[in-house]
Structure 1
Amino acid sequence: MPIIICPGIHEPDLTKSFVQGCLNLTEDSCSNKNQVDILIYHGQGYLTLSTFHILHFLCDRLGAPSDRLNNKLKSPLIFLCFSAGVIGGIGAATAWQLWGGHVQAFIAIDGWGVPLGGNFPIHRLSHDHYTHWTSAYLGMGEDNFYADPAVDHLSMWHSPQSVRGKWVNPSVGFSPIKNYLSGSEFLNLLLERYNKK
């Protein structure tokens, strides 16, 4: 199952820290653990916002969605995007599905102010309660997470394993389903869920 990682506008070392600390993988060994293939989009600066460039990256790595003979296209994708990368990522996920590809889920980490919608499950992780609930009006799925106590924005990316917070599901009420799990634990629960499908 390919996981497409779309970082934000920050130092590339923060993404390496995320992959190692949260997903317990290194970039070099990503393709061998639990049949998970991690593809990291390395666009810098404003290219993180570019749906076009992310789609070009996907086509380069996986082939065009219209190529039905390509086995990589049969596998559903999970988009895992952070900050500004959420902007380009949601556009790429939507376009990929419109082209005939399959998006298993879209996970937005601190994509505050970014409208999210699509014909696939969407999850938000936020660095504080305010960001979480003000983003709800712009689209969120069933299972989401917010840090409590609040942390700074970049902590959600470079060390989600040390961020404590609450798992909430708005479809069953506003009370948290589970208090005080880490951001990393929440992400891995989602990935495990979608890896079984």
Structure 2
Amino acid sequence: MTIIICPGIHEPNLTESFIAGWLYADSDKKPDTSLPLHPHILVIPTEGIFTLSGFHIWQFMQDCLHNRLKSPVIFISFSAGVVGAIAAATQWQMMGGNVQAFIAIDGWGVPLWGDFPIHRLSHDYFTHWSSLLLGSGQDNFYADPSVDHLTMWRSPQAVSGWWVNSSGGEINTRKNPLTAAEFLHLLLERYEPK
């Protein structure tokens, strides 16, 4: 399985911090942003407005994955990157690709529909609630207390909040509260090929 990271329009070091904070959230080690990337993570380059282009993301995936369409992929996208990522995920699946899940972090205002599981993580309750009107999956997350938009990406291990089952609007009682990084870990465990 390959995890496709689609950052927004921001400094690249925030994405490095996101990956370190998410990968090492459950360990006793302090996140180290100088570590090499996990071999199954593909970070889409953020070159200006190309983060908004589903075509460029899809083309980059083809170049890197060599048309291994049946190999499962999970998209994790942030902010403006959600725009290009949802288009690329849809195109990847239309071409016969295996999109296991799509995770949008603070993709406020971006309609999300697809023939694959979709999850949203939001930096506050208002963003969570208003984004659900534009499509979401069953399990989502919102920060409580609310945090700054970039904090969701920079430090997912430090953002606490609630796992919400949006199909009925109920708070999932399996593990609350939890961090955004813990929520991501739980989602990825769900979609890990058996």
When normalised by structure 2's length, the TM-score is 0.91
Q: Which stretch has the larger CA shift, 154-163 or 174-183? A: 174-183
- CA deviation string 1:49-108 (max 9, x = no partner): 0111101100100123xxxxxxx4322100000000000000000000000111000000
Identity value in percent: 63
Q: Which residue in the other structure is 1:190 paired with?
A: 187
CA-CA distance at 1:28 after TM superposition: 2.6
| Higher helix proportion (structure 1 or 2) | 1
Q: Which residue in the other structure is 2:75 paired with?
A: 79
Cα distance, 1:196–1:172 mapped onto 2, change above 3 Å:
farther
Cα distance, 1:56–1:163 mapped onto 2, change above 3 Å:
same
- Number of matched pairs: 185
Whole-angstrom distance in 2 between the partners of 1:56 and 1:196: 25
CA-CA distance at 1:132 after TM superposition: 0.1
Asked if the contact 2:160/2:179 (under 8 Å) is kept, the reply is yes
- 2:103 is matched with which residue: 107, 128, 134? 107
Letter matched to residue 58 of structure 1: M
Whole-angstrom distance in 1 between the partners of 2:123 and 2:129: 11
Q: Which residue in the other structure is 1:48 paired with?
A: 51
Letter matched to residue 8 of structure 2: G
Whole-angstrom distance in 2 between the partners of 1:100 and 1:74: 7
| Structure 1 gaps, min length 5 | 32-36, 65-71
Q: Which residue in the other structure is 1:8 paired with?
A: 8
SS at match of 1:189: helix
SS at match of 2:9: coil
Letter matched to residue 44 of structure 2: Y
| Residue 88 of structure 1 pairs with residue 84 of structure 2 | yes
Q: Which residue in the other structure is 2:162 paired with?
A: 166
Letter matched to residue 16 of structure 1: E
* Greater than 4 Å deviation, 4+ residue runs: none
Q: Which stretch has the larger CA shift, 48-57 or 120-129? A: 48-57
Whole-angstrom distance in 2 between the partners of 1:74 and 1:106: 16
Cα distance, 1:43–1:29 mapped onto 2, change above 3 Å:
closer
CA-CA distance at 1:176 after TM superposition: 4.3
Asked if the contact 2:72/2:99 (under 8 Å) is kept, the reply is yes
- 1:62 is matched with which residue: 50, 62, 65? 65
Letter matched to residue 28 of structure 1: P
CA-CA distance at 1:45 after TM superposition: 2.2
- 1:148 is matched with which residue: 127, 144, 150? 144
| Residue 17 of structure 1 pairs with residue 25 of structure 2 | no
CA-CA distance at 1:29 after TM superposition: 4.5
Whole-angstrom distance in 1 between the partners of 2:170 and 2:99: 27
